[in-house]
Chains A and B, each alone.
Chain A
Amino acid sequence: MGQEKQIRMTTALEPAKTTRSEPRLALPGWMRTILGNRKATIGLLILLMFLLVAIFAPVIAPGEPNKMVGRPHERPSAEHIFGTSRQGQDIFTQIVQGTRSSLIVGFGTGTIIIFLCIIIGVTSGFVGGVVDEVLSLITNVFLILPGLPLIIVVAGWVEQPGPATVMLVLSLTSWAFGARVLRSQTLVLRNSDFVAAARTSGEPTWRIVLFEILPNMTSLVASSWIGAVIFVILTEATLSFVGLGNPNAVTWGTTLYWAQNNQALLTGAWWTFVPPGVCIALIGFALTMINYGIDEITNPRLTVEKSEKE
Chain B
Amino acid sequence: MRFLFRRLTFYIVAAFAAITLNFFIPRMMVGDPVQLMFAQFQGRLDPRAMESLKETFGFVQGPLLQQYITYLTNLFQGNFGLSVSSFPVPVIELIGPSLAWTVRLIGFSTILAFIIGTILGVFAAWRRGGGIDNIFLPIASVVGAFPFFWIAMVVLYLFGLVWKWFPIGHAYDVSMQVDWGNPTFLSSVVQHSLMPLCTIIITAIGGWMLGMRNNMIGVLSQDYVTMAQAKGLSDRRVMLVYAARNAILPSLTGFAMSLGFVVGGALVVELVFAYPGMGYTLLRAVQGRDYPLMQAVFLVITLAVLAANFAADIMYVLLDPRAR
Q: Name the interface residues of B265-302: CB closer than 8 Å to any CB of A.
A: 265, 267-268, 271-272, 282-283, 285-287, 289, 291, 294-295, 297-298, 301-302
B256-A143 in contact (CB<8A): yes
The answer on a CB contact under 8 Å between A149 and B282 is yes
B257 / chain A contacts, CB cutoff of 8 Å: 143-144, 177
Interface centre among B18, B26, B153, B297 (most CB of A within 10 A): B153
Contact between chains at A148 and B305 (CB < 8 Å): no
* A-facing residues in B135-171 (Cβ within 8 Å): 141-142, 144-150, 153-154, 156-157, 161-162
A158 to B272 alpha-carbon distance, docked (Å) = 23
Instruction: Report how far A285 CA is from B147 CA in the complex, Å.
Output: 11
CB contacts (< 8 Å) of A147 on chain B: these are: 260-261, 264
Q: Which of B68-115 contact A (CB under 8 A)?
A: none
Q: Separation in Å of the A132 CB from the closest CB of chain B?
A: 16
Complex Cα distance, B149 from A238, in Å, reads: 8
CB-defined interface of A150-173 with B at 8 Å, one 1/0 digit per residue?
101111111100000000000000
- Asked if A281 meets B145 with Cβ closer than 8 Å, knowing A146-B302, A157-B29, A304-B129, the reply is yes
Say whether B260 contacts A146, CB under 8 Å.
yes
Interface status of B323 (Cβ within 8 A of chain A): no
Complex: how many Å from CA A141 to CA B289? 27
A177 to B207, CA, bound (A): 15
A143 to B260, CA, bound (A): 8
* Chain A, interface residues (CB within 8 Å), range: 35 or more
Measured CA separation A309–B285 after assembly (Å): 55
- Interface presence of A25 (CB below 8 A): no
User: Assuming A145-B302, A242-B286, is B14 touching A277 (CB within 8 A)?
Assistant: no
In the assembled complex, the CB of B103 is this many whole angstroms from the nearest CB of chain A, namely 14
Residue A266 CB within 8 A of the other chain? yes
Q: Take A265-B153, A265-B156, A302-B214 as given contacts and tell me if A145 and B142 are in contact as well, using a CB distance cutoff of 8 Å.
A: no
Determine whether the beta carbon of B153 is less than 8 Å from that of A284.
no
Q: How many A-B residue pairs have CB under 8 A?
A: 156
B128 within 8 A of A: yes
In the assembled complex, B319 has its CB within 8 A of some CB on chain A: no
Alpha-carbon separation in the docked complex, A263 to B128 (Å):
45
Given A260-B153, A281-B142, A146:B264 Cβ within 8 A: yes
Known: A157-B26, A302-B214. A266 touches B260 (CB 8 A): no
The distance from the CB of B296 to the nearest CB of chain A, in whole angstroms, is 10
Contact A277 B287 (CB under 8 A): no
Distance of B36 from chain A, by nearest CB (Å): 7
A281 touches B18 (CB 8 A): no
Q: Is there an interface contact between A242 and B271, defined as CB atoms closer than 8 Å? A: yes
Contacts of B268 in A (CB 8 A): 148, 238, 241-242
Interface range on chain B (Cβ under 8 Å from partner): 35 or more
Known A141-B13, A146-B264: A241·B25 in contact at CB below 8 Å: no
Residue of A149, A268, A277, A288 near B144 (CB, 8 A) is: A288
The answer to whether the Cβ of A282 comes within 8 Å of any Cβ in the partner chain is: yes
Is there an interface contact between B153 and A280, defined as CB atoms closer than 8 Å? no
Whether the pair A284, B145 counts as a contact (CB closer than 8 A) is yes
- Chain B hits for A140, CB < 8 A: 10, 14
Within 285-305 of A, Cβ neighbours of B (below 8 Å) are at 285, 288-289, 292, 301-302, 304
Cα(A147)–Cα(B298), bound, Å = 10
Bound CA span A177–B260, Å: 12
The answer on a CB contact under 8 Å between B147 and A244 is no
**B267→A149 contact, CB < 8 A:** yes
1/0 per residue, CB under 8 A from A, across B28-66: the answer is 010001001000100000000000000000000000000
Verify if B17 is at the interface (C-beta below 8 Å from A): yes
Contact B18 A159 (CB under 8 A): no
Taken together as a complex, chains A and B put the C-alpha atoms of A283 and B156 apart, in Å, by 24
Q: Indicate if A213 sits at the interface (CB-CB under 8 A).
A: no
Asked if residues A148 and B264 are in contact (CB atoms below 8 Å), the reply is yes
Query: Could you tell me the distance between the alpha carbons of A158 and B30 in the complex, rounded to whole angstroms?
Result: 9
Which of A148, A159, A265 makes the CB contact (< 8 A) with B36? A159
Which residues of A106-162 are within 8 A (CB) of B? 137, 140-141, 143-150, 152-159
Contacts of B256 in A (CB 8 A): 143-144
Q: Which 4 residue pairs across A and B have the least CB separation, nearest first?
A: A148-B264, A284-B145, A277-B150, A146-B260
Between A and B, 28 residue pairs with Cβ closer than 8 Å are A137-B13, A144-B14, A144-B256, A144-B309, A145-B260, A146-B301, A147-B260, A147-B261, A148-B267, A149-B301, A150-B298, A152-B298, A156-B289, A238-B147, A238-B148, A243-B283, A243-B286, A256-B150, A260-B153, A265-B161, A268-B157, A277-B147, A280-B146, A280-B150, A284-B145, A285-B145, A301-B221, A304-B129
Other A-B pairs beyond A157-B291, A234-B147, A288-B145, 11, CB < 8 Å = A141-B14, A143-B257, A145-B14, A145-B305, A146-B259, A146-B301, A148-B268, A150-B21, A285-B141, A288-B141, A301-B217
Chain A residues near B (Cβ < 8 Å): 137, 140-141, 143-150, 152-159, 177, 230, 234, 237-238, 241-244, 256, 259-260, 265-266, 268, 270, 273-274, 277, 280-285, 288-289, 292, 301-302, 304, 308-309
